[in-house]
Amino acid sequence: MYRPDHLTLNLSGKLLSLERPIVMGIINVTPDSFYSTSRIAGESELRERIDTLLREGASIADVGAYSSRPGAEDVSSQEEMRRLAPTLQILRDEYPELPVSVDTFRAEVARWAVQEYGVAMINDISGGALDPEMYTTIAELQVPYVLMHMRGTPQTMGGQTDYRDLVLDILDYFIERVGQLTELGVHDVILDPGFGFSKTLEQNYELLARMSDLQTVLPLPLLVGVSRKSMVYRLLGVTPEEALNGTSILHAFALERGAKILRVHDVAPAVEAIRIYEAMHPYELKDGAIHYAHTNKSKL
C-alpha cells in the first residue's frame, strides 16, 4: 500500500522530484488571515507576490481563500470560488511554469479549480472529513492530495485536543484515510501533521519532536506548515510579524525529521534552511562520532 520510494509528484503531467526538500509558497487571498502582512489585495500585489515566489525559489504556489485560523468566519463555496478565480486565472495565463495547489476542503471547489484553471494539487486541511465527496473527487481528478490531520472545524478545533497518545492517534487517522484513498486509486498522497490544528502549544512541539515516527509506519512525503503560527509567536511572546526567526528554527528541526515540503509565507529563508540542512546531510552524529555518509571515515 505504501511506497517508501515515492519521491516524485505528478503535477499536471510534470514530475516534481522530492529527492530534496522543496518550498511551497503561500498566496493568501483571504481578507482575515491571522498573518495580516500575507493578505493580498489587487492584481499588482498578486503579481508582485508571484514574482517573489519564483525569484526566491518556490516550487509550488498554494492559493487559499478560506481562512483556517481558530474561530475564523465560515464562507460559502461560491464566495471561496469568487475569491480564488482572479488569482487562478493570472497564474494559469501568465505563470504556467509555476505549479499551483489550492487550499480547500470542498470537493466542489477542488473540481472547479482543477477543471477550469488547471490546478495541479489539492491541499485539504480537513483530511476529507468536511466533505464526503472529496476522496472520490480527487480519485477522478487524479491530482496529488495533501491529507492533513485536524479534528472538528476551524471554528471548533481549539476544543478538540484530548489524545490518548498524540502521535499514535495521528497515525491511526492517517492509516485509515490513506487506505481509503489508495482503494479509490489516488496515487500521490502527501501527509500534513497539522501543526496548529486541534493541538495545544505543547502538543505542537511534541508532534514536531516525534514527527519522524510518522514515516516509520507511513513512508509518504511529509508537508510541514509552521510558518509564523501561534506555536512560534505565543511561545516567544511576539506577533506573527515578528515570528520569522522562530519559523526558520522550526524548519530546520522539521527537515531533520523528514519534511519534504515546507509550506511558508517567506520563501527565501526556507530555501536557505534547506541549503543549510543539505550541507549537513552527508554527515551523521552517532555515539559521539561524525560518520560520513559517502565514505568509511569517522572523526571523533
Hey, where are the domains in the chain?
8-299
Query: Distance of CA 46 to CAs 26, 38, 83, Å?
Result: 11, 11, 12
Torsion sign (Cα): 43, 49, 54, 55: positive
Within 10 Å of residue 213's Cβ, how many Cβ atoms?
16
Question: What's the Rg (C-alpha) of the chain?
Answer: 19
Q: Which residues contact 209 (CB under 8 A, 6 or more apart)?
A: 253, 257
Cβ contact 223:146 at 8 Å? yes
Cell numbers given for 140 = 477522478
Report how far residue 119's alpha carbon sits from residue 127's, in angstroms, rounded to the nearest whole number: 19
Cell numbers given for 43 = 492584481
Residues 115-165 have pLDDT tens digits of 999 999 999 999 999 999 999 999 999 999 999 999 987 778 878 889 999
How confident is the model at residue 244, as a pLDDT? 97
Report residues of the chain scoring pLDDT below 50: 1-5, 34-36, 295-300
Cell numbers given for 194 = 497539522
Cα first-last separation, the chain: 41
- pTM for the structure as a whole: 0.89
Instruction: List 146's β-bridge partners, or say none.
Output: 123, 190
Task: Report which residue type is found at 149.
Answer: H
Q: Provide CATH code, domain 8-299.
A: 3.20.20.20
Give the catalytic positions in this structure.
Answer: 229, 263
Within 10 Å of residue 25's Cβ, how many Cβ atoms?
28
**β-strands 189-192, 145-148: how paired?**
parallel
How confident is the model at residue 45, as a pLDDT? 86
Give the length of the chain: 300
